[in-house]
Structure 1
Amino acid sequence: MVASKYVLTFINRSDENLTDAKVQQLILKIVAHIPSDIQTDFTTLKRLGDRAVDQYMTTSEPIDKDMLQGVSHHVDLILQHDDEYRQDKKLFVFDMDSTLIYQEVIELIASYAKVEPQVKAITDRAMNNEIDFKESLRERVSLLKGLTIDTIYEEVKGKLQITKGVPELCKFLHTKGIKLAVLSGGFVPFAQYIQEQLGLDYMKANVLETDSEGKLTGKVTGEIVDGEIKAETILTLADKWSIPLETIMMVGDGGNDLPAMGVAGFGIAWNAKPKVQAEAPCQLNTNSLLDALYILGYTDEEINHHLL
């Protein structure tokens, strides 16, 4: 049987250095988690930075990330096939709320209608994949009925906080000629604003319906951007830009991002709900989304060079 080649990336969730001794401790735990009938050979160790290390390995049979569950609660372990697609990315697709920005926009809007707790409760259930996204969006938008949205658009935009590391990540990816897109279950004006701030190549989001007086009707007009639409949009963009699916990365935090991760070459659950982390191809739980570049195998030296 042909050996399976993998690269296992260790990323310390804190700002502390990831020592060689700590890496060796984790490798011993990993060996204990992999079934004994699978022969594992740890080969080259490559340091990406003070907090991140690549460990190359081969196994006698294929393995998956579920075999690494519980190895560490302080270091993210990202398992990938050691192939040309790891760094050869053509398209990065992002969720917006709680990914590119820290907030959930609908909760910011809900504060004006004094229904933020009710909306947040529904949002949490949707992001944890406990309720259908379309149903959750309709329930949340219905609570906003009667708001004069034009008067609060600019105020809400002013409250949006871009996630740490995102501007630098987008700048780096642009220098590599990689296209960037945001597919949001949020709303067009805010997704357009983030698109402009980050220079993204494509945007898709939901449209809030208003009446003749400019007040929200409590409904969404047009198709709802849920998990299925995100996945379909990735397929459409791949065809439009002649991009192999294997070269696409999807980054998100909610259950409605999982279908898109499923069609993309790889996916990152960014500080996501436990159920999403369990189902996503990998998880990243640090305080900077720039750390996604470690998952692609870039070193601190390479990252800093392109950001100068």
Structure 2
Amino acid sequence: MTFSNDMVDPCNPVGLAGIEFIEYATNQPQAFGGLIEQMGFVAIARHRSREVTLYRQGDMNLVVNADPRALPSTARDDLPATVISAVALRVRDADTAYRHAIDMGAWPIQTRVGVMELNIPGVHGAGDSILYFVDRVGDFSIYDVDFKPIPGVPQHPPALDGMHLFGVVQSIDEGRGPEWIDFYQQLMNFTVLPEGQFFGAVRKGILLASPCRSFYLQLVEPPPGAGSLQWDEQLVRIGFGVPDVLAAVRLLRQRGIAFLEGEAQAPSEKGALTRLYKGGVSFELVVSERAAMAAEAP
């Protein structure tokens, strides 16, 4: 499928329409799978040829990749590790979006396609992460080719308490904000929100809105005086939008999820942070108008 130039929206040059999936790489797939099941996700399918599982709730898809090659080269086999290894962006046309990104200076990734697998175009993101471009033609999706449904499991489990993907937090090196702003603006026309406008529990850094206004990116530099702190540029956390943060916290606590309780980090009406689990993973809840409107719909 191709699109002519007169069909391209200059405000949204790649036809961005949200996040198709977020991929985690882990050397503890069972432990991490159990954690996101506590967060409301359900394992619905397994990859046809790799140690990869697809989890879903509502319109959110998480791909859990247990292939050792998916982890950063710095990961140690004897230590738990879980990282956000890729974000797949839903776009109007994947090939057009990919070529636009390369024309704007992004670095292409090398793909390895096996039998019965799709070649998903992508470029290098923060650290070792990948930004994939995925399009949909009618009801057909990438999961129809690459994954086999788990027998007896509903393929479209409902979202827990109105949860949806709100955004992704990325750590950046000190002073690198302008470079990353330029990266996301050039590739996809993200917009920098006014200084001081934040969502959720972590009110610092730089906030960027996607051109489709369906999710946000938060760029966070190391805190002052963090000279001895290990700080790598990478995707560090995803945020879930909910209509009522405190109600969602109560529900998730009942499911075994623990939240930070410090004076400056305790759950509030605006947001909440889970504790850091083994492997270095955490999640954030953010109050969301979209979730509130969905909850009020008849």
Which is higher, the Rg of structure 1 or of structure 2?
A: 1
Q: Aligning the two structures, in what range does the TM-score lie when normalised by the shorter sequence?
A: under 0.3
TM, length-normalised to structure 1: 0.23
TM, length-normalised to structure 2: 0.24
